[in-house]
Chain A
Amino acid sequence: MSVLARSIGNAFRNKVRTAAVVAVLAVAIGLALAMLVANQAVAGKVSELNASVGTVLTVTPAGGQGFEGGGEPLTADQATTAAGVPNVSSVVGATALRLRNAEAAAAQAGAGGPAGQGGPGGQSAATVTTSLTAAVDAGTLGTRNQAATGTTGSPGAATSFSLPITATGVGAEVDTTGKALELTAGSGLGDYSAASSGALLGTTLAEKNGLGVGSAFTIKDQSFTVAGLFDAGTAFGNNALYLTLPTAQTLAELPGELSTLIVTVDSMDHVESAKTALQAALGTDAADVSQGQRNLETAVSSLSSVKSISFIAFVAALATAGLIILLIMVMLVRERRREIGVLKAIGARNRTIGLQFVLEALVLVALGSAAGAAVASFASGGIASALISSNTTTATGAAGAAGQRGIPGGMAPGGFPGAPGGNPLGGAGQLLTSVTASASPGVIGAGIAAVFGVAIIGALVPALLTARIRPIEVLRGE
C-alpha cells in the first residue's frame, strides 16, 4: 500500500466525519469559486466598458448639450483639426437625422402633434419620411411621452404619436460611442466616405418591418437596400439605422455638416490631456468636448467596487477553507499521535508521515472542490447578480440620468431620441445588469488550483507537527 493509497484510506476512516468535513469545505470552496467567477465576470465587463467608451471623446456644436441651443454645426475642417491633436488616433464624423413613417407623420400632423423641434446642437434636426415603421411603439418603453395627460406629452395627440427612427450617417463602421458595430447578419457598407444606397438596420427595426439582408425600403422616396443587421443591445439602440456619412448629409440637405465628431484617443492615460487640447484647438465657442468615460465613471466605479468585494470575499472564503483544513488536520494529528509514534518507531521518516497527512488533506479538498465546483456553477450567477444589483442601483440611476443629459436636442416627442446603441451613457444601466457570470472551466480550474495551494499550506502546519512527535511517547504510554 503506497503513501497515496494509505492517505485515501485514512481520509475515509470515519465516514460520517469525512462527509461533514467535505460538506463544510464544499460550502467554503463553492463560495470562493462563485466569488472568483463573479470577480472575473465583472472584471471583463469593466474592461469592456473601458474599451468601448473609455478612450472616446464626443465633440458637439457649442451649447449643443442640454437645452442651451447650439452654435454652428461642425464641419469637415474641424474634423481635420481634431485629427491633428496629439494622441488622437481617429476621428469619425456623424450626422444624425430623424425618420418618420410617412403615414404616421401625416396622422400626427392632422392630430396637432408637436413638430420635430430639437435635434443635434439644439437645432432642428432634419426629419425625413421613410417607408419603415418604428420598432418601438409609443407607450411601450419608459414612462415619459406615453400618457395623454403626461407633462411632456401633447394632450389629445397621444393616440397618433409614434417614435421616430434614428438614422445616422457615419464615416466609419462604428456607433456613436466609437465602438465597432456588431453585425449579426450581412456585411458593412464598404467605403463610408462615399454615397451609398446600402444601410445597416437594427435587428428589432428590421424584424418589425419584415426586412432581411437584401431587402429594400425607402427614405425620402429614395430606395435603399439592407446591407447588414446590427445589434446595439438596447431597444432604442436597435430602433435605428446607419448610412454612409455623405448619404446622410445629402438626405438631410446639409452637405459638409456634421452633428457629432467621435474622437478616439490612443490610451486612457491621454484622454484628459487630449480633451483639453481638443477643446483648445476647436475653440470653446465653436465646439463642446465631452468625455464618455466621465459619464460612465459612476457605473464603472460601482462595478469596480463589486470586483473588489468579490475578490475580498474570494480570499476570505479561500482562507476559511485553508483554516478548516488546518484545524481538521491538527485534530487528526492529535488523534493519531500514537499511530505516528509507532510509524516512526518502525522506521518511517518524518517526510513520509508529513506527506501522508498532506495527501490526506488534499483528498478531502479534492472532494470538497468537486462539490464546491457544483455549488459554484449553480450559485455564481445568482451571487454575481445579487452583488451587482445591490451595488449598482444608485449608479444605474445616475448613469441613466446622465444619459438623458447627453441626448442632444432634448426629449420632446419628435426630438432626437439618442444615438443608436446608446450614447456613451445610454446603455450604461443595461451594461451594468448585463454582466454574465458563467462558471468557465478556466476560472473554476484556477480557483481550484488556488484552493489546493491554500490547502497545502494549511496541511503543512499539522504535517510539520508530526515531526515533533517523539516515538518514545508511544512506549511510555504502554
Chain B
Amino acid sequence: MLEVKNLVRTFKSGDRTIKPVNDVSFKLAQGTLASIVGKSGSGKSTLLSLLGALDKPTSGDVLVNGVSLAGMPDSRLTDYRRQGIGFVFQQFNLVPNLSAVDNVMLPMEFAGMRKAARLSRARELLEQVQLDPGKHARRINRLSGGEQQRVAIARAMANSPQLILADEPTGNLDEQTGEHIIELLSSLSRDHNTTILVVTHDRQLANKTDRRFRLQQGRLTEEASPARPAATAPAPAPA
C-alpha cells in the first residue's frame, strides 16, 4: 500500500518560490494501476521522484506499507529503490553497451543475487514482456524503441518491487507500440499484484488505468476513470 501525506516540494528560483507539488495526499491499494495526467511543468515528474525516493520532500511524507521515507538515511533509500521500486523512463535509460538480458540483470546484481539465478530470472522477465528470445542477447542500441521499453519494464520488474513508477512510458513510441506497452503494464499490475503509477500525457493510457489523477499547479485531484468510478478516490487534502 502506498500512502502520500501532505507532500510539499518547493524550489527557489531567484526571489520566487515554486511549489510543483503542493500538499498532495492520496492512497493506492496494492495492485492498483493509476495514472497522473497534467500539463508540462505541472509537477508530475517531481511528484514521481518524491515517490521514488529520488528526491526529498520539503514537507509531508510517503509511506510504503506503513514505512515512512521521511528521515530515512540515503543508504536505506538506496535499498528502498533497489528492492521496493521499479522505474520506467520515457527515454528508456538503458545501458547502451549492454545486452537486453544484461540490462535486466543489473538491479538483481545490485541486490546481490547469484549470476545463474539472475540470468534465469532475466530471461523469464524478457519472455513475460514478449521480447523475442533471439533478441535477448542483442545490444540495446540494436533494438527498436518498443523493444527497448519492454526491456525497461522487465528491468523495473527485476527485483519484484511492490511499486512501479513509469514516467511517460509511451511518450517516445508510436500509437500501436504504445498500446502494447499499456496492455503489458495492465497485465503486470493484474497478474503480479504490483502497484503501478504512470505519469502520462496519453489520455488513452490514462483511461485504461484503475484510477486517474490530474496534477494542476501542484495540486492533485482525482478524476473519474472509465476503468473505475471516482467514488472510491480520496479527496485531496486541504492546503
Whether B89 lies near A475 (C-beta < 8 A) is yes
| Cα-based distance from A476 to B54 in the complex (angstroms) | 11
| Cα-based distance from A338 to B94 in the complex (angstroms) | 10
Q: Is A10 an interface residue (CB 8 A)?
A: yes
> Whose C-beta in chain A lies nearest to the C-beta of B94?
A342
Q: Is A331 an interface residue (CB 8 A)?
A: no
Whether B167 lies near A475 (C-beta < 8 A) is yes
Partner of B168, one of A352, A472, A476, A478: A478
Q: Is B123 an interface residue (CB 8 A)?
A: no
Chain B, range 58-107, C-beta contacts under 8 Å to A: 75, 78-79, 81-83, 86-87, 89-91, 93-95, 97-98, 102, 105-107
Partner of A347, one of B49, B98, B107: B107
Whether A347 lies near B159 (C-beta < 8 A) is yes
Whether B52 lies near A346 (C-beta < 8 A) is no
How far does the Cβ of A65 sit from chain B's closest Cβ, in whole Å?
76
Count of chain A residues with Cβ under 8 Å from any Cβ of B?
A: 26
Q: Is A348 an interface residue (CB 8 A)?
A: yes
Quick one: which of A10, A347, A348, A352 has the most chain B CB within 10 A?
A347
Q: Is B220 an interface residue (CB 8 A)?
A: no
Whether A474 lies near B93 (C-beta < 8 A) is yes
Whether A347 lies near B89 (C-beta < 8 A) is no
Quick one: which of A1, A339, A350, A474 has the most chain B CB within 10 A?
A1
Whether B79 lies near A347 (C-beta < 8 A) is yes
Whether A478 lies near B105 (C-beta < 8 A) is no
| Cα-based distance from A9 to B107 in the complex (angstroms) | 18
> Whose C-beta in chain A lies nearest to the C-beta of B159?
A347
Contacts of B98 on A, CB cut-off 8 Å? 1, 6, 9
Q: Is A332 an interface residue (CB 8 A)?
A: no
> Whose C-beta in chain B lies nearest to the C-beta of A342?
B93
Chain B, range 140-187, C-beta contacts under 8 Å to A: 155, 159, 167-168
Contacts of A6 on B, CB cut-off 8 Å? 98
Contact with B along A316-345 (1 / 0, CB 8 A): 000000000000000000000011001111
Contacts of B83 on A, CB cut-off 8 Å? 347
Contact with A along B210-237 (1 / 0, CB 8 A): 0000000000000000000000000000
Interface SS of chain A: helix
Q: Given the known A-B contacts A1-B98, A471-B54, are A345 and B81 also in contact in the complex, defined by CB atoms under 8 Å?
A: yes
Q: Is B205 an interface residue (CB 8 A)?
A: no
Whether A475 lies near B54 (C-beta < 8 A) is yes
Whether B109 lies near A345 (C-beta < 8 A) is no
Q: How large is the interface on B (under 10, 10 to 19, 20 to 34, 35 or more residues)?
A: 20 to 34
Contacts of A10 on B, CB cut-off 8 Å? 97
| Cα-based distance from A270 to B168 in the complex (angstroms) | 85
How far does the Cβ of B54 sit from chain A's closest Cβ, in whole Å?
5
| Cα-based distance from A342 to B106 in the complex (angstroms) | 11
Contacts of A475 on B, CB cut-off 8 Å? 45, 48-49, 54, 89, 167
Contacts of B115 on A, CB cut-off 8 Å? 2
Chain A, range 459-478, C-beta contacts under 8 Å to B: 470-472, 474-476, 478
Partner of A349, one of B48, B78, B95: B78
Contact with B along A1-43 (1 / 0, CB 8 A): 1110010011001000000000000000000000000000000
| Cα-based distance from A474 to B91 in the complex (angstroms) | 10
Q: Given the known A-B contacts A9-B97, A475-B167, are A352 and B105 also in contact in the complex, defined by CB atoms under 8 Å?
A: no
Whether A345 lies near B45 (C-beta < 8 A) is no
Whether B45 lies near A478 (C-beta < 8 A) is yes
How far does the Cβ of A211 sit from chain B's closest Cβ, in whole Å?
73
How far does the Cβ of B136 sit from chain A's closest Cβ, in whole Å?
13
Partner of B87, one of A1, A346, A352: A346
Whether A345 lies near B110 (C-beta < 8 A) is no
Partner of A1, one of B86, B89, B105, B168: B105
> Whose C-beta in chain B lies nearest to the C-beta of A476?
B45
Whether B82 lies near A347 (C-beta < 8 A) is yes
How far does the Cβ of A196 sit from chain B's closest Cβ, in whole Å?
78
Contacts of B49 on A, CB cut-off 8 Å? 472, 475-476
Q: Given the known A-B contacts A10-B97, A474-B93, A475-B54, are A343 and B106 also in contact in the complex, defined by CB atoms under 8 Å?
A: yes
Whether A478 lies near B78 (C-beta < 8 A) is no
| Cα-based distance from A471 to B48 in the complex (angstroms) | 12
Contacts of B29 on A, CB cut-off 8 Å? none
Contacts of B48 on A, CB cut-off 8 Å? 475
How far does the Cβ of B140 sit from chain A's closest Cβ, in whole Å?
12
Contacts of A3 on B, CB cut-off 8 Å? 109
Partner of B90, one of A13, A476, A478: A478
Whether A346 lies near B155 (C-beta < 8 A) is yes
Whether B106 lies near A346 (C-beta < 8 A) is yes
Partner of B107, one of A2, A346, A349, A478: A346
> Whose C-beta in chain A lies nearest to the C-beta of B75?
A349
| Cα-based distance from A349 to B82 in the complex (angstroms) | 9
Partner of A352, one of B86, B90, B110: B110
Quick one: which of B54, B83, B106 has the most chain A CB within 10 A?
B54
Q: Given the known A-B contacts A339-B95, A471-B54, A472-B49, are A346 and B81 also in contact in the complex, defined by CB atoms under 8 Å?
A: yes
Partner of B109, one of A1, A338, A478: A1
> Whose C-beta in chain B lies nearest to the C-beta of A349?
B78
How far does the Cβ of A473 sit from chain B's closest Cβ, in whole Å?
9
| Cα-based distance from A315 to B239 in the complex (angstroms) | 64
Whether B97 lies near A345 (C-beta < 8 A) is no
Residues of B within 8 A of A (CB): 45, 48-49, 52, 54-55, 75, 78-79, 81-83, 86-87, 89-91, 93-95, 97-98, 102, 105-107, 109-111, 115, 155, 159, 167-168
Instruction: Report, nearest first, the 3 A-B pairs whose CB atoms are least far apart.
Output: A347-B82, A342-B93, A472-B54
Some 24 contacts from A to B, beta carbons below 8 A apart, are: A1-B105, A1-B109, A2-B115, A3-B109, A13-B97, A339-B93, A342-B89, A342-B93, A343-B95, A345-B87, A346-B81, A346-B86, A346-B87, A347-B111, A348-B82, A349-B78, A352-B110, A470-B54, A474-B89, A474-B93, A475-B49, A475-B54, A476-B45, A476-B49
For the complex with contacts A345-B93, A352-B110, A478-B45, 19 further pairs of A-B residues with Cβ separation under 8 Å are A2-B115, A9-B98, A10-B97, A346-B81, A346-B87, A346-B106, A346-B107, A347-B78, A347-B111, A348-B82, A348-B106, A348-B110, A472-B49, A472-B54, A474-B54, A475-B54, A478-B89, A478-B90, A478-B167
